Amino acid sequence: MSSRGQVQSSGGGAFRGARPGERFSGPPGPLKVAGSLAFAILLLLAVVAGSLTGLMLVYSVNLPQIADLERYRPETTTELLDVHGRVFGSFALQRRVEVNYEDFPPVLRHAVISIEDKNFESHWGVNLVRVLGAAYHDLVSNSRNQGASTLTMQLARNLFLSSERTFGRKLQEVFLSIQIERSFTKQQIFTLYANQIYLGQGVYGFEAGSEYYFSKRARDLTLPEAALLAGLPKAPVGYSPISNPTRAFRRRNTVINAMLEDGVITAAEANAAKTAPLGLHIEPPPNSVAPWFVEAVRRDLERQFGSEQVHEAGLRVYTTLDLDLQRAADAAVLDGLAAYERHRKWQGHLLNVIDAGASLDEFHHPDWVEAPIPGAYMHALVTSVLPFQVNVRLGQRQAILGPDDFAWTGQRDAQKFLKPGDIVYVRIQPSADSNLLLHATLEQDSGAQGALLAIDNASGEVRAMVGGRDFELSQFNRATQAERQAGSAFKPYVYAAAVESGMGPQDRILDAPVTFSTPSGPYTPRNFDNTYEGTVSLIHAFADSRNIPAVKLAERVGIRKVIETARGFGIVTDIPPVLGVALGSADVTLQEQVSAYTSFPNDGVRIAPHLIRKVTNSDGFTLSEVPSSVAESTDVRTARIMTQFLESVLQPGGTAAAAGALKHPLGGKTGTTSNYVDAWFIGFSPSITCGTWVGYDDRQSLGDGETGALAALPIWMDLMKVAIADRPDETFSGQAAPRLKMSQAASLPSGSPQAEAPPMPPPAKRAPAKLAKDGPSPVANR
């Protein structure tokens, strides 16, 4: 045996039995172990890094570019401004007002940061401690309900991501937040957040929230108000001060405590703020002022720009409305209708919610979206009745009525005509303490409607519009959409046709019974009072609204000439060629009438009515300017002579003599239709023309004696008092010398030089065979 095969290690049997050619295998050294461990760690890190990279690729592939945020423009509100630059209406899918960082007061910024993100000023978009803590909570509770979002993360989520609670969406939120923090300053991030965060009730951003909940700018917020708003983003519905005031109160105080912990307020300030009431002063519903005007503007804008741009692009619409005149118009119509209802006496016929199967607590009337302020007319719910006291509810407010408040009904005992559950119509009266019970007077809503339209003569701009009694109950615009018989308010076109044919105010005409032969048979018109005055001047016949002279004039000049004249004044509704048209049997709109009447004080020129002056985008760039559409209704001579006719109506002896009390250059015409169905007054000053109408939608009678002078003229007078208040020295064109008053003309002897006039021309030639059938003679035209 070879001696090499017998060699053994003195250290043991590690090599025992080793065969030639076999690889030696010994224990690994320390370096080898460390190397293996390092390799494993590197491999793990590579796997993690690869996984993270993969996740970033997966979840960032559809992320918006940060440049999108630089160009971000939130949906903003389109605002409507009156002629004095005052905002009175808006259109928006979201109620939002964008402001700058400086417009958010420190108290609000501190409140938001204390409750939502204490480390906002120092972190880089993500608070790892909060994120890991929330993840651990979600893991052990097997849920995903624990929030950990910074303001930056909330901004990223609200602007670009969905609200789903998944780990993938959270990763996207983190990636976006880091990008936002690298691209924007803290002030810019806070401003973006504060302008878009949702605060409930369709309100976005703290400026809009301040205006909605407290009717003030954000910069004017107090500590408790700022704390209330800062507490809303977490749960706008759950902490709503409107639907959940108790929870809102507690949440507000939680915010105050957080501010105290952060040292941004003192203990004394915190204690005072926590005991303060919520102090809500809810902003009135949008477009509650001039709602019919606002709706007409919306339709015009959507036809021109489309619905999306109108409601999302933040346009500024410079309208023709005068807010002061509009408020006067609203009050005039409601007061006028209340006066008319009292003429009729108490009608009763009240709806009762208990009889309808509802409870007193559950009932809510559409009127109650607006606050019950003094002067407002609203429907109320009777909750209890005593002989000399009625308690009513208007939303959350209570009001009382005493015997003097319903004395006009003829009843002194309320229990004889009212009961709990009745829906009544009341007018809110001034009260010494608005926080206590309201004081109201009983009114009546029998369904009668009213409308008013006021147009600037020189520009055609609509200054005021009222389309009915209550927009919440009926959006139908009776100022522009309702076609009603005009009654004697149509007669100016008859007289204008006669003046164009050469007649004048002092021409004489016989006011006597007459029957006209028409293709459909005899036509016998009658005067309003069924009396006849014999030979009178045209101006007297016009001022007293005599029917026989008007039909005779129409027969002389030709009914087709009358229709042609009316068309020239802008009347576009269908006018049948029958003699009854001379007394206003044709249907017209109030807007047509008011626009036509502007021609008289405007020397025969008519400018088409319009609602908008200019539209700009949110940057002030002009998108549209409305040009004036001018037409000549008649010649200057006819317009000035007709102004004399129309002035005579408001002078002693005229049907609107009551308006003489305004002691101002004014003209106009009353109108009343058969059976007192429609009451009109259309009148003007040198600067403005206004028309009023009163009637029922179903064309029932207003009641005996309810003429234009009684039902419509008082509304017109109330509006015109405001319209002429700052124009004491205005006069009509060509009025250098005193005009002959109607009463003077009527008293002049027939031989007087002023009373003599060229003889009336012979009747115009026409084709009687083409006349359409005359309808019933309107006998109440006055």
Euclidean distance between CA atoms 1 and 238, whole angstroms:
98
Euclidean distance between CA atoms 193 and 154, whole angstroms:
8
Euclidean distance between CA atoms 609 and 300, whole angstroms:
13
Closest CA to 550 of 486, 602, 610: 486
Residues 6+ apart with CB under 8 A from 80: 87, 88, 89, 90, 91, 294, 297, 317, 319, 321
* H helices, E strands: number in the chain: 22, 25
Residues 6+ apart with CB under 8 A from 225: 210, 213, 214, 279
- DSSP one-letter code for 708: I
Could you tell me which residues are beta bridge partners of residue 91? 78
DSSP 272-295: HHHHS-----PPPPTT-SSHHHHH
Residue 24 in tokens: 């030696």
Is the CB of residue 739 less than 8 Å from the CB of residue 644?
Answer: yes
Specify the residue for token string 């004036």: 628
Buried b (16+ CB within 10 A) or exposed e, 545-569: bbbbbbbbbbbbbbbbbbbebbebb
Closest CA to 550 of 540, 768, 124, 220: 540
Q: Which of 79, 98, 116, 461 is catalytic?
A: 116
Neighbours of 74 (CB within 10 A): 15
* H-only helix segments in 184-237: 186-196, 206-214, 223-230
Euclidean distance between CA atoms 576 and 574, whole angstroms:
6
Catalytic annotation present for 173 = no
DSSP 679-704: EEEEEE-SSEEEEEEEE-TT-----T
- How distant, in Å, are the alpha carbons of 57, 157, 169, 242, 576 from that of 60? 5, 14, 10, 40, 72
Residues 6+ apart with CB under 8 A from 14: 26
Closest CA to 613 of 301, 329, 307, 303: 301
DSSP element (H, E) containing 500: helix 491-500
Q: Which of 90, 149, 210, 488 is catalytic?
A: 488
Residue 309 in tokens: 């741009």
Catalytic annotation present for 488 = yes
By residue count, the chain amounts to 782
| Three-state DSSP state, 282 | coil
- What angle do the packed helices 186-196 and 151-160 form, to 10 degrees? 50
Q: In what order do the strands lie in the sheet with 678-684?
A: 462-466, 449-456, 688-695, 678-684, 667-672
Euclidean distance between CA atoms 373 and 204, whole angstroms:
27
Strands (E) in 23-92, as ranges, are 78-81, 87-91
From the number of C-beta atoms within 10 Å of its C-beta (0-12, 13-18, 19+), residue 580 rates as buried
- DSSP one-letter code for 198: B
Residue 690 in tokens: 């206004």
Euclidean distance between CA atoms 290 and 292, whole angstroms:
6
- DSSP one-letter code for 79: E
Angle at 718 between CA 714 and CA 724, to 5 degrees: 130
Is the CB of residue 640 less than 8 Å from the CB of residue 733?
Answer: yes
Based on C-alpha coordinates, what's the Rg of the chain?
A: 40
Residues with a catalytic annotation lie at: 116, 488
